[in-house]
Amino acid sequence: MRVVVLTGAGMSAESGISTFRDNGGLWEQYNVEDVATPEGWARNPKLVTEFYNIRRRQLLDVKPCLGHELVAKLEEQHDVTVVTQNVDDLHERAGSTHVIHLHGELMKVTSSFSPNDPRYIKTLDAGHLEVAMGECADDGSQLRPFIVWFGEPVPEIERAAAVCSEAEMLIVIGTSLNVYPAAGLTRCVPPGTPVYLIDPKPVQWNSDETVHHIMKGASEGMKELMEKLRVEN
């Protein structure tokens, strides 16, 4: 079965990664406009560079949660593609092999001039987490985070939409479905596709498909869904 898993901040929150809305989290110390927009980068690239250096260091201190691991385990029986709004690498570290990152990847940097040119995208490792001012891509521009900032186009949205259009099951985990164009992917699945929504809070569903809402966190919700799928199989 072709399964698409659409994940948001609620998935990584269980691993200890703070979301925009968390009290006391890293985001409370910065204005989103200063560190997650092209305009912020233009005004103060040093501040933005330091912010993402901090985020990378934090990423090394967290591990995939059970929810990540159970999503990866689905691959044992199904053709699974994860479409994530998260920029961390926790799905990959949990074992998922087909992951589309809509909003970029924290462990990658790229050219300031041509951020989506694959020739300039570089993956950092644990020994080189911090980017310095003056550290350049191969085109001579300052390295910037490989992150899709607010106001920038989402290069992977068409590939994600194509995958969703062939889905035989859609699982949505930990997203408010308020951020577009990612939220619009729920409307791309074929009519009659089984849809499961895992979130402990009410979510305003945004498509005509009937949704089965499991009102639990990512890990407990995936445990319940795995049991359900096992029974149905």
Hey, which residues are catalytic here?
Answer: 103
Query: Could you tell me the strand order of the sheet in which 104-111 lies?
Result: 122-123, 104-111, 143-147
Task: Show the CA angle centred on residue 195, arms to residues 20 and 210, nearest 5°.
Answer: 105
Tokens of 14: 């269980």
Q: How many CB atoms lie within 10 A of CB 153?
A: 9
Q: Backbone phi, then psi, for 118, in 5-degree steps? A: -60, -20
Residues 6+ apart with CB under 8 A from 112: 41, 45, 137, 141, 142, 143, 144
